[in-house]
Each structure stands twice: as C-alpha cells, then as structure tokens.
Amino acid sequence: MTAITLYMAPGTCARVPAIALEEAGVDFETQLIRFMKGQHKSPDYKKINPKGKIPALVIEGEALTENVAIITYLNQHFPDAKLMPKTEDAMEKARQLADLCFCSATLHPIVTRIRMPHFFASEEAAKSVWEKGCDSMHEYFSMIDERLGKQPWWYGESWSAMDAYLFWIYWRVEGAEYPVNNFPNFSAHKSRMEQRPAVQRALAREADAMAQLEAEGLVFTPKPV
C-alpha cells in the first residue's frame, strides 16, 4: 500500500487535494498544521515545504507542494480516479493546467484579499482591500457562473478536481461576506459538491481537525472587515 500523508489545516486550500484523494478512494492520513503556533514556519515543517505553506503531500517518502502540482501528480498516479478529463492531446493537457493555474494563481490571491484584508493594509484601509478584492472577483465569478449554468461540472457531465478547487474558493469567500447569492449556478454547484460522499468525508476530516484546534485553543479567526 502507498503511504500518503496530506499536511493540512481546516478551511485552507488543502481541502482541494483532500477531496481529490477521497474521490480517488485511496488510503491517506492527514497531519494537522497549527498556524497559530507558527508550525507552518517551523524548521521541521519547512523540511517538507520550505515555503511554509499548506498543503504539502508526502507520497512514497517524496514531498510535493503546490495544489496544481499535487492535483496533476495525483491524476497521473491514480489514472482510474479520473481526477481530470482523460486526454493525450498536448493542447488539451495544457488547457487543463491553465484551468488549475487560474484557481491557484488568479482566484486564490483574490480570495486571500477578501478573506484576510488585514494582511495587506492598515486597519483603516482593510475595508478598501476587501472591496477591491470583491470587485476583481465579480468578473471571474460571473464567468464561472455562466459556465456552470450550462453544465453541472466545470468540464461538463463529468466531475473533476477543478470542481473541488472551485468549491473551496466559493466556500472561502462565502464566509467572508462576498455576495455569492448573485451567482445562483455557482451556488447550485456548491450544493452538488456537498452531496458527494467523498466531499463529505473530506469535510469530516476538517471538522475533526477543527475540533482538535478548538480543544487546544488554537482556532485562527480573521478580523471582521
């Protein structure tokens, strides 16, 4: 059996590979990283991810970071799981990468501005960071909403890890006062995601991790805008 460990914290983008692993039906363990203790910046964790970020995946003793790379690897390592649409076409493969990069490199930084504007500005200016984040997000949420109005999943009739990524992005900004209700097709996509047993299992792992943090008094709560 392959030994797989996912380094995660509840609510983070580690949800994306957690869902992918659950969808693939493989055995894996999760290791909770405690942000409030600075564990992600500790020398021990930096041996796994020198960038001090979550997620990191350790598989067969090898550490891999960055969601795009982790999803791409899992897709190749577990081909039967069909985490991304099957294709041998170089352009199609590159377009799938572009989609994952859109989530990690375009949407995720905007999510952070909406969710944690205080990281980017003084107390007085935080509200304007949040507003500008929301303004930037509208264009992309409209685009995603339009696409999901025509089909249940990002790639049509078949679920993919792109849907897991979009699910996390939606959920994260929903909890930061972003007006998600303006995007009914994206909201319906979230509901479809919540019905998937693999998603429920991934969320249950996060709930366990959150309970652990609560018990230790280590829950991180960003300042309200």
Ligand X SMILES: N[C@@H](CCC(=O)N[C@@H](CS)C(=O)NCC(=O)O)C(=O)O
Considering only residues 24 to 53 of the shown chain, the ones binding ligand X according to CB under 6 A are 40, 53
* Residue 113 near ligand X by CB under 6 A: no
**Given phi > 0 = left and psi -120 to 50 = alpha, else beta, which region is 38?**
left
Binding of ligand X by 104 (CB under 6 A): yes
Number of chain residues interacting with ligand X (CB under 6 A)? 9
Query: Is 164 near ligand X (CB under 6 A)?
Result: no
Q: How far is CA 77 from each of CA 5, 127, 165, 169, rounded to the nearest angstrom?
A: 15, 43, 19, 25
Does the footprint of ligand X cover residue 12 (CB under 6 A)?
Answer: yes
Site string for ligand X, 49-88 (x = CB under 6 A): ----xxx----------xx---------------------
CB of 115 to ligand X, least distance (A): 9
Phi-psi region of 114 (alpha: psi -120 to 50; beta: other; left: phi over 0): alpha
Structural tokens at position 75: 């897709």
User: How big is the chain, counted in residues?
Assistant: 225
Least separation, in Å, of the C-beta of 135 and ligand X? 22
**Angle (CA) 109 153 59, round 5°:** 60
Selected binder of ligand X within 13, 74, 162, 198 (CB under 6 A)? 13
